A and B are shown apart, each in its own frame.
Chain A
């Protein structure tokens, strides 16, 4: 606690003391809350929050001796976390998004977990899907443990497919385009299309599955930038082409907030999304009859998987306790509790097998995707993503040729390559 005490100094000396006073006051206001372990997450939907609280309650029951506080961060998670880490007030255990993980790991502010993993016989690192573990490794060190994953899959509207007389589902790029064309129609006859086969989005995450399928990369395995390679450009051209040819729409053209909303309204017959679209459809468009299949393949099968990990800051005072909680939450019991409603897929093969994810009519599609899913991660700062998004916007909204747009930003993005914090070496 911290109070401002009025100090009866002489007025003439007031200003002289002012600066000293401020320093004193700031020094006295040391961050509080160092007495219990704190756990923070972002807040997505009420149902997820409740599920998470339930998982934590289960842990409390089996580990009553371990005291901790759950402090969710309702908005601007990344910004808030950055400030907390920078001022040594960070929670002792927190969510870390796979896409932003490389930045945090390169700054050397996360606690390495390898020793703890080795010391815990029940941990079994080999049980995890490799892509999920690798997403939180940097220079061979494990900095976070994946709690779940969610791959992009293809949602399709069964009624639209029946209506168009389609009795098969797209398995490759050509079929995706063909079927999109067959599903695009003008329902009310006003000369304007009101149902599109597919929906696209000028975002890097949405383009990457196509790039991976075409054997391309954002960042090549040798570390060089891949966005001007033919394999990248071809995929981007195919993806943008769907929109350009009028067989796909974008959310902005329909005045909806996101792809899932357009899919729910029946504005598009197919949409790429992760599992989070299912509860959204259930809440907002319960009448829609839809199915889920793996993404159509290009030269090879691939999809992007989003994964979230638990991580702890280097400066935590509760390392052992934080590990215990983390080990429970990503352990067989905690992960089974957290994923049992299918809010996200388990990152442990044994949990998926024990809970019937491979047999489940819906979840099996997600699990099948895990075999070839990749996290989208590159060793570039977030500024690099921003530049790509701007280039995509120029393509989609201004009709700039994809190759030209990517070549223009390539040299700029190279400047944003992450460099490992030298002091940490």
Chain B
């Protein structure tokens, strides 16, 4: 393709602008990703100079490692539980916050605050709430129910952390939905009202389809976020009890940085990346952003 002098000039300026960020991005993101892929084929202990090539041995071992299989299961349960509830909740919140309500600004702020609070801080607060003499059990005791210690009970720990994550990120995605809602022409709602549609019908027949591009964006982001969940696990349960909250990221971290097995950790990170890639691809194929 032949470029005119002006186009060349423009291209040069454009590259100059993106050049520096691109460089940083390459050094701190692309190169490490490629490198992680590379070392996943090695028995890579940072502290031992001898780093033998082991081919697919790390991958083979991963799929025989009970803890890794549990981690995959936990990650899937976490994602399948969190993403739909979180997306729906964010949409409903946004829908309500888009109405002309009294104190709307206050509620918008209140719902958004968890999203801008450090995840470590919210995690610590929830450690207290979920503890045996904590707030949740106090509230339950008022209605005569005796609760457990949610984070040391293997059957509740993962769900407790899922609930926390739904709470923190719903407000964040609410903002995305709000922006989407405000771009829906008012005339659609007016026309629907004239045709006799009630609030419920308006929500499902107009709002939901019209925010589809936003929904796509929200679902992709929360899918990726959920598959990579780490901070809450690290702070609240350290993967326990009995590995009931060990997720793939936490497994990767433990093996790479605590058990001196960077190659093995990298291999599990590669599998996590493949799963995320696959999930996003499926979504793009079956639920594209621009169906309407």
Chain A positions near chain B (C-beta within 8 angstroms): 4, 11, 14, 18, 21-22, 25-26, 78-79, 82-83, 85-87, 103-104, 107-109, 252-255, 381-383, 386, 389-390, 393-394, 397-398, 412, 421-423
Contacting residues, chain A, for B258 (C-beta < 8 A): 78-79, 382, 386
Bound-state Cα–Cα, A13 to B78, Å: 46
Contact: B260 with A82, CB < 8 Å? yes
Cβ-based interface call for B57 (8 A): no
The secondary structure that dominates the A interface is helix
Cα A11 to Cα B22 in complex, Å, equals: 13
Complex interface: chain B residues within 8 A of A389 (CB) = 240
> B23 and A85: CB pair below 8 A?
no
Query: Once bound together, how far apart are the Cα atoms of A82 and B16, in whole Å?
Result: 38
Interface size on B, residues (CB 8 A): 38
Does chain A have a CB within 8 A of B15?
Answer: yes
B110 at the interface (CB under 8 A from A): no
Question: Which residues of chain B have C-beta atoms less than 8 A from A397's C-beta?
Answer: 152-154, 241-242
A11, A103, A397 pick with most chain B CB within 10 angstroms: A397
A-B contact count (CB 8 A): 92
Residues of B3-40 at the interface with A, using a CB-CB cut-off of 8 Å, are: 11-12, 15-16, 19-20, 22-23, 26-27, 31
Q: Which of chain A's residues have a CB closer than 8 A to the CB of B50? A: 421-423
Nearest-Cβ distance from residue A201 to partner chain B, whole angstroms: 12
Say whether B46 contacts A82, CB under 8 Å.
Answer: yes
- Contact at A386–B48, with CB atoms within 8 Å? no
Residues from chain B with a CB closer than 8 A to the CB of A423 are 48-50
Are A86 and B132 in contact, CB atoms less than 8 angstroms apart? Answer: no
Count chain A CB atoms within 10 A of each CB in B12, B27, B47 and give the residue with the most: B47
Residue in chain A with minimal CB distance to B255: A383
Q: Which residues of the partner chain B approach A14 to less than 8 Å between Cβ atoms? A: 15, 19
Contacts of A26 in B (CB 8 A): 27
Task: List residues of chain A with CB within 8 A of the CB of B66.
Answer: 412
Asked if A22 contacts B31 (CB within 8 A), the reply is yes
- Structural contact, A22 and B132, CB atoms closer than 8 A: no
B132 close to A421 (CB less than 8 A): no
Q: Smallest Cβ distance from B19 to chain A, in angstroms?
A: 7
Tell whether, in the assembled complex, residue B47 and residue A107 are in contact, meaning their CB atoms are under 8 Å apart: yes
User: Which residues of A are found within 8 Å of B133, using beta-carbon distances?
Assistant: 254-255
Given A11-B12, A255-B131, A390 and B242 contact (CB-CB distance below 8 Å) = yes
Q: Is residue B280 contacting chain A, with contact meaning CB distance below 8 A?
A: no
Residue of A nearest to B46 (CB): A86
A82, A255, A381, A394: the one contacting B257 at CB < 8 Å is A82
What is the CA–CA distance of A109 and B12 in the complex, to the nearest angstrom? 49
Residues of B within 8 A of A398 (CB): 154, 242
Further 15 A-B residue pairs, CB within 8 A, beyond A254-B133, A393-B152, A423-B48: A4-B23, A11-B12, A14-B15, A21-B23, A85-B47, A107-B48, A253-B149, A381-B259, A382-B260, A389-B240, A393-B154, A393-B240, A393-B242, A422-B50, A423-B50
